Structure 1
Amino acid sequence: MLEPSKKLANRATKAASTSRFDVLPRARNTLRPSPSHPAAMLRPRLRIPRPGRLWRPAPASRSLHQVPVLGHIDAKLGVPGLLSPGGFDMAWTQYMQFVLERLNALIAGTELASQETLTIIKSTAREPSKAAIFNYASMAHNNAMFFENIVGLQVTEAGEIRDVPDEQRIPHRLLRELTMQFSSIETLRQEFLVTALAMFGPGFVWLVKNGQSSDLRILVTYLAGTPYTAAHWRRQGVDMNTQGTNSPDTVTAWLERTKTGAGADNGAKFVTSSEVAPGGTDVIPLLCLNTWEHVWLRDYGIGAGDRGGKRQYVENWWRCINWENVESLANLGRPTFRT
């Protein structure tokens, strides 16, 4: 028969053994969340994929806009007489890939993703919040037109560049029209040269045709500017850095810029993307000269000491113009009248 003190010790030992092997598991069970508990719903489950899905390749992603292929220019040769292979790679391949990557990132998942760059230019020019989209789309469009209207000069077997006079390179109908409006081809060449050299900053020099007549003019756009009249309405009377989108001034400026709302002269509807801005003239771009430094600086240098530089680049560009493309864009055909 055990003494009272020993009975108490045995009870304590039994309680300790019971708590060590029975209580903790029960406590662990009480802490386990039920299947409907949020913690259980978020718990990852091991799922074994079906055999048919183990080796299925992921669908390849495609860019919204890709760098166009220039069939008339060999990247290994560059543009003979104008750009070296390295210069062509920087001005076309690398730069176009850069601007199109930025453009794709900005328009992914929007209605602009399936639009051509010209449509994007016209539809975003009037909205300051889409200025970045406009800039990248306009740069891609302008740079493409610049390269589409140039062609490398012919190189002889001795490695010399064969230069052809302007009168032989320009189609007869276009030659007659240019001579009539600019007095001579040399005058037009000098106009391009002087205009490009006078630009203090990068941009483009254009030869444009009046959409309502046969008048030809030289037009300058800076940075990512565009000659298309539908995109000239870029007034922004509100500084978006200091005025929020909820400001009354912002709303008023937007209504004025888009000509919408009660009492608008277009019936309170959005203006079309082809409407001409106030005071604008509809023009058709025929020829484009890119004066951005990344195009000519690598091959021609800064131009110190009157050697190379932008001047030499523009003079060489004139010799590489594809005048047949210019004539096609000009559409100089005129109706003939019987006498």
Structure 2
Amino acid sequence: MALSFKAAAARLHTVPDLPYNPRSGVAPLFSPAALKTIYTDHQAGLIDRLNELIAGTPYEDKLYHEVIMDSARSLNEVQIFNNASQAWNNDFFLQSLSASPSSMSDALAKRISDSFGSIEVFKREFATNALGLFGSGWTWLVEDKDGRLMLLNTYNAGSPHHRRRMQRADETATDHDFASQAQNPYSGASKFSAPAKLMANNSYVPILCVSMWEHAYLTDYGVTLEGRKKYLKNFFETVDWSVVDGRVFRAGGF
């Protein structure tokens, strides 16, 4: 992941290359026009703004992941965190895709089936969580400190890397909100969802994510529920599972 763990710090961060030609889109998920918005325009804008914000500050010489983690700890550097985290999330999402994706390995399929019951249940619950996001955000497959796989929704530039900046809806929800979610098949609530309460220094390892920002699906799929369902269906047809395999990290890794 070019944005997150470069070997040396750079004064100006740049947009990393994708493993496919963005001018060609990435079928069946994104047309060339959609990918231009998501990658060429949006991603470049985030990096340009981040470079403006960190110029002349101690962040200027930090590694990219250090910018994210250090700004996450400070309530005075929200703009730096938001631009850095959003760019990282977007890159993580786009790096997962391929027009000719590799199939899921037997080892990963077993991990997912052990965690969710089956691959079909995992995909269904992942899509339900994504459709339940009200507003802009991300749906993640994450691994916890004990190697368990679970689902996580974050809003805006919310990151699974730091407890303070996950931007979880369930951290401020009321009992009434949860009662309403139980009646809503697209509430984002799932028995496989990661718990909101974490130890202060705990975080999740991201394995896979999908962007539920409007600019990601608007060009090709419109704003309707059926359009977003098609977007998620095509997302799973475009995931390169060999990339996902390489992200399984903690105690449950293989």
TM-score range, shorter chain: 0.7 to 0.9
Opposite residue 209 of structure 2, the aligned amino acid is: C
Where does residue 190 of structure 1 map in the other structure?
124
Opposite residue 52 of structure 2, the aligned amino acid is: A
Q: Which has the higher contact order (CA 8 A, sep 6+)?
A: 2
**Match status 1:286 vs 2:233:** no
Deviation at 1:232, TM superposition (A): 3.9
Opposite residue 99 of structure 2, the aligned amino acid is: G
Per the alignment, in what secondary structure is the counterpart of residue 77 of structure 2?
Answer: helix
The answer to whether the 8 A contact 1:117-1:138 is kept is no
Distance of aligned partners of 1:69 and 1:181 in 2 relative to their CA distance in 1, 3 Å threshold: same
Q: What is the distance in 2 between the residues matched to 1:282 and 1:89?
A: 32
Per the alignment, in what secondary structure is the counterpart of residue 286 of structure 1?
Answer: strand
Where does residue 121 of structure 1 map in the other structure?
68
Opposite residue 152 of structure 2, the aligned amino acid is: L
Where does residue 327 of structure 1 map in the other structure?
245
**Match status 1:69 vs 2:17:** yes
Opposite residue 175 of structure 1, the aligned amino acid is: A
Deviation at 1:280, TM superposition (A): 5.9
Deviation at 1:278, TM superposition (A): 3.9
- Cα deviation, 1:23-68, whole Å, max 9, x if unaligned, reads xxxxxxxxxxxxxxxxxxxxxxxxxxxxxxxxxxxxxxx9711111
The answer to whether the 8 A contact 1:204-1:223 is kept is yes
TM-score (norm 1): 0.59
Task: Report percent identity of matched pairs.
Answer: 32
**Match status 1:81 vs 2:28:** yes
Deviation at 1:118, TM superposition (A): 2.1
Q: What is the distance in 2 between the residues matched to 1:127 and 1:282?
A: 17
Q: C-alpha root-mean-square deviation of aligned residues, in Å? A: 2.3
- Cα deviation, 1:254-283, whole Å, max 9, x if unaligned, reads xxxxxxxxxxxxxxxxxxxxxxx7456432
**Match status 1:228 vs 2:161:** yes
How many residues get paired?
214
Where does residue 179 of structure 1 map in the other structure?
113
- From 202, 206, 217, the equivalent of 2:150 is 217
With 319-328 and 182-191 compared, the bigger mean Cα shift is at: 319-328
Q: What is the distance in 2 between the residues matched to 1:300 and 1:282?
A: 33
Deviation at 1:76, TM superposition (A): 2.5
* Structure 2: gaps (5+ residues): 1-9, 168-197
Look at both structures and tell me which one has the larger radius of gyration over its CA atoms: 1
**Match status 1:203 vs 2:137:** yes
Q: What is the distance in 2 between the residues matched to 1:86 and 1:63?
A: 31
**Match status 1:138 vs 2:85:** yes
* Structure 1: gaps (5+ residues): 1-61, 155-167, 235-276, 335-339
Q: What is the distance in 1 between the residues matched to 2:126 and 2:199?
A: 27
Opposite residue 172 of structure 1, the aligned amino acid is: D
Per the alignment, in what secondary structure is the counterpart of residue 112 of structure 2?
Answer: helix
Opposite residue 65 of structure 1, the aligned amino acid is: H
Opposite residue 300 of structure 1, the aligned amino acid is: Y
Per the alignment, in what secondary structure is the counterpart of residue 330 of structure 1?
Answer: coil
Distance of aligned partners of 1:120 and 1:231 in 2 relative to their CA distance in 1, 3 Å threshold: farther
